[in-house]
Amino acid sequence: MKKLSIGMRLTLWYFAIFLLAEFAFGTGMWLILRKNLFDIADAALEGQAADLERFLEARKDAPAAQLQAEISADYKIERSADYLQISDASGNSIYGSRFFEKHPLPQLSPDQLARPRYENRRLGHEHFRFMSEMMAVNGHAYVVRIGHPLDEEMETLDAFRGYLLWFAPVLLLSASGVGYWLSHKALAPVDALARTARTISGHNLSNRLDALHTGDELERLSDTLNEMLGRIEAAFRRITEFTADASHELRTPIALIHTEAEVTLRRSRDEAEYREALRHILLEAERTAKLLEELLDLARADAGSEALDIHPIDLLVTLRECAAKWNQVALLRNLQFEEHLEVQRLPVMGDENALRRVIDILLDNALKYAPSPGKITLSAEEKDGHVAVSVEDTGIGIAPEDQARIFERFYRVDKARSRELGGAGLGLAIAQWIVHLHKGSITVKSEVGLGSLFRVVIPATTLAVGQRPDLQ
C-alpha cells in the first residue's frame, strides 16, 4: 500500500491532536460554566433558606397549623414559595407547595441531612436544583427543601454547547488547512531537491543540487547531499580512470605478444630465432599475469578489510624470510644487502601474507631502482607501541613532486624505465592499501641521485602470537 506523503501525515496528526485538544478544552469549559451556574443557583437557594429561617424565627412557638396558614398567606405573597417544602423532624408536613404535591420527592433521613444537600433532578421536561437542610429554629428542628428551576441555566449551557459544536469544526478545518499549507510549504524544498536528484546519473555526476540557504536542517541536508555527490563523483572518476589505465596496461603486453608472433610467423626461421621469439612472448605473458594479479589485489583492496585475515603474528619471522630471499637476488645483481633486525620479536595484529607482500614490494623496488654497485638496508624496531620497518636504498631517488604521487595507482616516475623493469605503477598503491588496513602508515624520504627510504609503521600488539582475538 502506498504510504501517505509526509505533508499529509503531518496534517492528519495535526488534525487528530487539535481534535483532542478541542474536545478537552470544550468539555473543560462546559464543566466550569456548569459549575459556576450551579454555584449561582445554590447562592439563590441559600438566600431563600436564610430568608425562611428569619421568617420562622419571627414566629416563635407558633403551632404547626398556624405556621402553615401564615406561610400559605404572608410568606407566599411576599416571597416565592412555589418550590418549598417544610416538615418537622418526624417527617410531618408543615407546608408543601403544589409543586411537591405533584412531584413528591423521597424523604431524607437525618443522617443525609447532617449538612445541606444539593441535588439536580429532571421532573417532566424541566430541570431543577434542590437544596435540603435541617434547620434548627427556636429549639424546633425543621426539614426544609427548596427548589430552583434550572431553565435559564440549562438554556445557557445548551447555547454554549451549540456554539462549541458549531465553532469547533470550523476551527478544526481551518487549523488543518493551515497545517497542510505550512507542512507543504516547509517540505517544498525537499520536493525540489528530490526532483533535481532524480535527474543526476552517471553521465552528469558533476551536477549539484540547488543549495538551500534556509539556515536549518534543509540547508544541512542539501549541503550533505552535495558533499556526498562530490565523493561519488570522485569515486566514479577514480573507477573510470582505473578501468582506462588497466585496459591500457593490458593492451600493451598483448599487442607485443601479438606482434612478436605475427612477425615471427611471416617466414620460416631457424630454431634459435623461434626460441628468442618464444622467450619474448613468455616474458610478456609473465608480465601480463603479474599485472592481472595486481589488478585483482586492488579490486580486493576496494572490497575492504574483509579480504584480510588479521590476527597476532610475529613480523620478525616474516622479515627474516623476506631478507633471506632478497639477499640472494641482491647478490645476483651485485648489490650489497644489509639487515638490521636486532630485536627479539615484533608482535603485530596483521595478515602475514599481506604484510609479506608489502615488504616484497618495497625490496623489489629498492633493488629495481638501485644501480649496481649499491646498498639495500632492511631494518626494524619496536618503539612507543608501534613496529617500524624501513627499506633504504642508494638508488636513483625520487623527486619531491613525484614523492606525493608514487602511491597513486598506475603512477610511474619514468614510464618507459618502469615498464622495462616490469612495473605497472601498482606496487606502492597495493602496499599503501595493505598498511592502511593494518591501521598503519607508509612514508617516503628520498633525494634524487642519493637514494630512498620507505618506512612502514603499524601498531604493535600485546596479544600472544597465534592467539585469535575472535576465538577468545
Site for ligand ADP, rule CB under 6 A = 361, 365-366, 369, 393, 395-396, 398, 406, 411-414, 418, 423-429, 452
Distance of CA 342 to CAs 89, 319, 383, 394, 459, Å? 118, 12, 13, 22, 19
129/287 with CB nearer ligand ADP: 287
Could you tell me the smallest distance in angstroms from the CB atom of residue 419 to ligand ADP?
Answer: 8
- To ligand ADP, the closest distance from the beta carbon of 240 in angstroms equals 20
Closest approach, Cβ 395 to ligand ADP, in A, equals: 5
In the complex with ligand ADP, the residue whose CB is nearer, 11 or 452, is 452
Cα(115)–Cα(132) distance, integer angstroms: 9
CB of 470 to ligand ADP, least distance (A): 33
382 touches 410 (CB < 8 A):
no
Q: Which residue is nearest to ligand ADP (CB)?
A: 423
The least distance separating ligand ADP from the CB of residue 236, rounded to whole angstroms, comes to 23
Using the minimum distance from each CB to ligand ADP, give the nearer residue, 356 or 412: 412
Closest CA to 376 of 419, 346, 336: 336
CA–CA gap between residue 120 and residue 104 (Å, rounded): 15
Assign 443 to helix, strand or coil. strand
Least separation, in Å, of the C-beta of 268 and ligand ADP?
38
Range 422-427 contact pairs with CB under 8 angstroms and sequence separation of 24 or more: 422/287, 422/290, 422/368, 423/365, 423/368, 424/249, 424/290, 424/291, 424/294, 426/291, 426/294, 426/295, 426/297, 426/298, 427/294, 427/361, 427/364, 427/365
Between 153 and 294, name the residue whose CB sits nearer to ligand ADP: 294
Q: CB of residue 354 vs ligand ADP: minimum separation in angstroms?
A: 16
Q: How far apart are CA 452 and CA 168, in angstroms?
A: 84
Q: Are 365 and 326 in contact (CB under 8 A)?
A: no
Closest distance of CB 301 from ligand ADP, Å: 13
Distance in Å, CB of 444 to ligand ADP, minimum: 8
With a CB cutoff of 8 Å and minimum separation 6, the contacts of 385 are: 459, 460
Question: Do residues 128 and 148 touch, judged by C-beta distance below 8 A?
Answer: yes
Nearest to ligand ADP of 361, 380 (CB atom) = 361
Q: Which is nearer to ligand ADP, 320 or 445 (CB)?
A: 445
Min dist CB 387 to ligand ADP, Å, is: 21
Residue closer to ligand ADP, measured from CB, 133 or 393: 393
Bridge-partner residues for 122, per DSSP? 127
Going by the DSSP 8-state scheme, the letter that residue 3 receives in this structure is P
Least spacing, CB of residue 334 vs ligand ADP, in Å: 17
Q: What is the dihedral of CA 181, 184, 185, 191, to 10 degrees?
A: -160
Q: Which one, 226 or 403, has the nearer CB to ligand ADP?
A: 403
**Phi, psi (rounded to 5 degrees) for 438:** -95, 15
CB distance 307 to 300 below 8 Å: yes
Cα four-point dihedral sign 424, 430, 432, 435: negative
Say how far apart CA 189 and CA 248 lie, in whole Å.
45
Residue 113 or residue 367: which is nearer to ligand ADP going by CB?
367
**Strand 336-340 versus strand 375-383 pairing type:** parallel
Residue 350 contacts residue 313 (beta carbons within 8 Å):
yes
Q: E strands along 89-227, which residues?
A: 93-96, 117-123, 126-137, 140-149
Nearer Cβ to ligand ADP, position 310 or 398?
398
* 3-class secondary structure, 104: coil
Query: Smallest gap, in angstroms, from Cβ of residue 392 to ligand ADP?
Result: 9
- CB closer to ligand ADP out of 17 and 399: 399
Nearest to ligand ADP of 51, 245 (CB atom): 245
